[in-house]
Amino acid sequence: MSFPWAKHYEPKNPVMQWVDSRLPLPRFVYNAVGAGYPVPRNLNYWWNFGVLAGVALVCQLITGIVLAMHFHSSAAGAFDSVNVGIMRDVNAGWFLRFAHANGASMFFVVIYIHMFRGLYYGSYKAPREMVWLLGVVIFLLLMATAFMGYVLPWGQMSFWGAQVITGFFSAIPVVGDWVRVWLLGGYAPDDAALNRFFSLHYLLPFVIAGAVILHIWALHIPGSSNPTGVEVKGEQDTVPFHPYYTAKDGLGVVVFLILFSVLIFFAPDYLGHPDNYIPANPLSTPAHIVPEWYFWPFYAILRAFTADFILPAKLWGVLAMFGSILLLFFLPWLDKSPVRSGSYRPMYKVAFWVLVADVLVLGYCGGSPAEPLYVILSQIAAAYYFAHFLIIVPIISHLETPKPLPGSITEAVLAKTGA
């Protein structure tokens, strides 16, 4: 579906006409990310991050496929194949490896900004709930993929990360221990676990790519939202995706690649952990186990539960950690305000920024050792996280008086430029 004024694909080149009449793939692309997709004219730079996430996915797929050609997936060979083979012997292997490891970080930076963009501008609200739900699915798949990828170099953090994260499943009552042994194919992470993680780490990105196609498909039914949250009313409110947003997104891609290059070439290990340059040792746990930075907020929620209350503390921690993400599936129905954009919601806007600060505090605690101060901070921040979605947002949507919305996107744009 598209707006009635969307441009139609009319290829002039006879070869393209021949292809289009037999397999309308060029038409499909034209309507999806070409001139055939009308987009609100007022998108700001926060709307770049969807395309940037796509760029990050493509970077990870390309570097990953080449790295897999040099990787040995065995407990005896994995560490050396990465740290000796790829890093020293393979031509440009160091570049591929650092691009892939830091590419994961860039992917999460982009995804988190993309998600917070959605939260601020109410992009999850009707009629775009399905876009949001698929986005949460992609986020979960991305986390699983990143976790399994981090295990592959088989350093100390890889090994103990695998041990701790598969340990979550042993919290399941009755069948937990069996589930964990089944997931690992043994009693501790070893060849069986490493090989299946490698297999799935190769598979899941393609599943993500499929989910991304559904995500964009679902987006194109109502069309993109915009910073005012007011729906498109006519042709004057939109511009064609190409060339307007291909150009605007292109600028974002350039900035993204500059930052990405700075990481790869000047600080390739800044976001990593030195313990992962020690080969995995099943008999010695590092003193301070932390996951990669992008899992810190969730790790803090996991560790926030220290006392048994009906259920064991361990099970609470695991439930809360998964719950903090599953909660996002219900957001479109928890926020009852008909106004989408946070710009017109004075109370929600404050709550949004407090949530951003709260997640940063959780992240900081998750990266710190499990000392009493950080545990207490995590407990407060975790409680607030759940309160935001379950109590504050639903209450605000009743109490708040939104600011008057502009009559249309065009009116908002003209008011801003003073024309």
Partner 1 sequence: MAIKADLAGPENPRRRDYLQYAAVSVAAVGAGVVVFPLVNSMNPSADVLAQSSTEVDLSKIEPGQAIKTSFRKQPLFVRNLTPKEIAEADAVPVSALRDPQTLEQRTAKGHTNWLITLGVCTHLGCVPLGAGEGENRGPFGGYFCPCHGSAYDTAGRIRQGPAPKNLEVPKYNINGAIAVVG
Active-site residue list: 220, 224, 248-249, 292
* From 44, 126, 285, 326, residue interacting with partner 1 (rule: CB under 8 A): 285
* DSSP one-letter code for 310: S
Which 3 state secondary structure label does DSSP give 239? strand
162 Cβ contact partners less than 8 Å away, ≥ 6 residues apart: 151, 184, 189, 193, 197
Give the nearest distance from C-beta 169 to partner 1 in angstroms: 11
- 167 sits near partner 1 (criterion: CB under 8 A): yes
Binding residue for partner 1, selected from 31, 123, 163, 368, defined by CB under 8 A: 163
Among 250, 282, 323, 346, binds partner 1 (CB under 8 A): 282
Considering only residues 186, 210, 274, 346, which one is a binding residue for partner 1 as defined by CB under 8 A?
Answer: 186
Which residue type does 162 have? A
Give, in order, the Cα–Cα distances in Å from 153 to each of 18, 124, 166, 184, 275.
48, 37, 17, 17, 12
Question: Which two structure tokens, joined as six digits, stand for 274?
Answer: 């030195």
170: contact with partner 1 by CB under 8 A: yes
- The residue from 172, 181, 257, 327 that contacts partner 1 (CB under 8 A) is 181
Separation CA 263–CA 415 (nearest Å): 40
Strand 38-40 and strand 238-240: the pairing is: antiparallel
**Contact stretch for partner 1 (CB under 8 A) within 123-131, 160-168, 203-211, 387-395:** 160-168
Least distance from C-beta 176 to partner 1, angstroms?
Answer: 10
User: Which DSSP string do the residues of 39-60 spell out, in sequence order?
Assistant: EETT--GGGGHHHHHHHHHHHH
The H or E element spanning position 39 is strand 38-40
242: left (phi > 0), else alpha (psi -120 to 50), else beta?
beta
| 310 sits near partner 1 (criterion: CB under 8 A) | no
Q: Contact between 164 and partner 1 (CB under 8 A)?
A: yes
The answer to whether residue 288 forms part of the interface with partner 1 (CB under 8 A) is yes
Q: How far is the CB of 258 from partner 1 (least distance, A)?
A: 38
| DSSP symbol at 336 | -
Which segment (18-26, 34-42, 304-312, 404-412) binds partner 1 by CB under 8 A?
304-312
Classify residue 155 by its DSSP letter: B
**Which structure tokens are listed for 315?**
């099970």
Please report whether residue 81 would count as binding partner 1 according to CB under 8 A: no
| 76 near partner 1, rule: CB under 8 A | no
Residues 192-231 that bind partner 1 (CB under 8 A): 192, 196
Supply the minimum distance, in Å, between the C-beta of residue 388 and partner 1.
25
Q: Which two tokens stand for residue 216?
A: 């964009």
| 242 in contact with partner 1 (CB under 8 A) | no
Identify the CA nearest to 107 among candidates 161, 48, 54: 54
Between CA 290 and CA 370 the distance in angstroms is 10
Q: Which of 306, 327, 394, 411 binds partner 1 (CB under 8 A)?
A: 306
For residues 49 and 235, the answer to whether their CB atoms sit within 8 Å is: no
Least distance to partner 1, CB of residue 112, Å: 25
Q: Does 43 bind partner 1 (CB under 8 A)?
A: no
Enumerate binding residues for partner 1 (CB under 8 A): 160, 163-164, 166-168, 170-171, 181-183, 185-188, 190, 192, 196, 282-285, 287-289, 303, 305-306, 308, 312-315, 317, 370
